[in-house]
């Protein structure tokens, strides 16, 4: 499947940032983000949120905060190329989140005031989009049927009835993925694993053996090392020599 990009102009950046509330086993949310300057998404992302939210509104706010670095990076990058970005639009389908972003709030961590600051500076404009037009929704949860095909088409700029086999036949053979790509990937994985094993073999024998043990036994090995060092120091201090007397008096 090919990603087809089409640019209307370089002065308008459009972002769709969506979040699913409490979808992971530890009740954390999931963020989906995509950016477009016409058709297709040159920037997109999908990742698990690192904070637990108390509501879907907070989850959306966390999602926007997760996406802000990408949003501002693209904004500054396009401007650095000599183009005047007049509209940096962030679409959101939760009206309560829009109110929090534009007005600010202290009921959640202060770091989320960064979003409000960017809005106040005019670097980001937050606009409402209905859920059915939030194309990044496909990056936050499973989609099926027509909804999946439609949002996939908006993300990749392909037809809803996209046929992968037909696209393969219409593509020049040199542009197709290599048939032995799986073999190459396995070879690369084996090389990386071999380097990791070599690094472990080059480490100290005690810690190499400890790394192969369960965590409980691993801690006991490290504790034995520290106890042995303390025991040797105590045995030296217990011997009344001129050097140890001076060291002992300085320690006291």
Domains of the chain, residue spans: 6-173, 213-251
Q: Which residues contact 21 (CB under 8 A, 6 or more apart)?
A: 29, 53, 55, 56, 59
pLDDT value of residue 243: 47
Q: Which structure tokens are listed for 194?
A: 């071999």
pLDDT in the model for residue 176: 78
Say how far apart CA 38 and CA 12 lie, in whole Å: 9
pLDDT at 90: 96
Domain 6-173 has CATH 3.30.420.10: yes
- Residue-by-residue pLDDT tens, the chain, 252 positions: 788 899 998 899 999 999 999 999 999 999 999 999 999 999 999 999 998 998 999 999 999 999 999 999 999 999 999 999 999 999 999 999 998 888 766 656 666 778 888 888 999 999 999 999 999 999 999 898 999 999 999 999 999 888 888 888 888 888 777 766 667 777 888 888 888 788 777 765 544 455 555 555 555 444 444 555 555 555 655 555 544 444 444 343
> Looking at residue 219, what is its pLDDT?
52
pTM, full prediction: 0.67
Task: Specify the pLDDT at position 56.
Answer: 92
Which residue from 66, 34, 64 is spatially nearest to 50, judged by alpha carbons?
66
């Amino acid at each position: 499947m090919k990603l087809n990009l089409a640019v209307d102009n370089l002065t308008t950046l459009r972002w769709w940032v969506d979040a699913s509330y409490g979808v992971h086993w530890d009740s954390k949310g999931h963020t989906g983000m995509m950016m477009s300057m016409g058709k297709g998404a040159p920037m997109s992302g999908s990742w698990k949120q690192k904070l637990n939210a108390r509501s879907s509104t907070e989850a959306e706010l966390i999602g926007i905060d997760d996406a802000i670095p990408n949003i501002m990076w693209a904004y500054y990058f396009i401007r650095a190329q000599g183009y005047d970005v007049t509209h940096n639009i962030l679409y959101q389908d939760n009206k309560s989140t829009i109110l929090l972003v534009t007005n600010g709030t202290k009921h959640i961590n202060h770091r989320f005031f960064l979003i409000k600051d960017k809005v106040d500076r005019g670097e980001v404009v937050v606009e409402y989009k209905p859920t059915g037009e939030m194309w990044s929704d496909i990056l936050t949860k499973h989609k099926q049927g027509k909804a999946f095909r439609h949002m996939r088409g908006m993300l990749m700029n392909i037809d809803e009835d996209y046929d992968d086999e037909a696209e393969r036949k219409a593509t020049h053979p040199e542009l197709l993925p290599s048939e032995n790509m799986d073999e190459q990937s396995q070879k690369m994985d084996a090389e990386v694993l071999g380097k990791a094993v070599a690094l472990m073999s080059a480490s100290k024998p005690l810690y190499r053996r400890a790394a192969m043990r369960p965590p409980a036994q691993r801690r006991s090995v490290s504790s034995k090392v520290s106890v042995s060092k303390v025991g040797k120091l105590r045995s030296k201090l217990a011997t009344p020599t001129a050097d140890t007397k001076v060291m002992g008096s300085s320690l006291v």
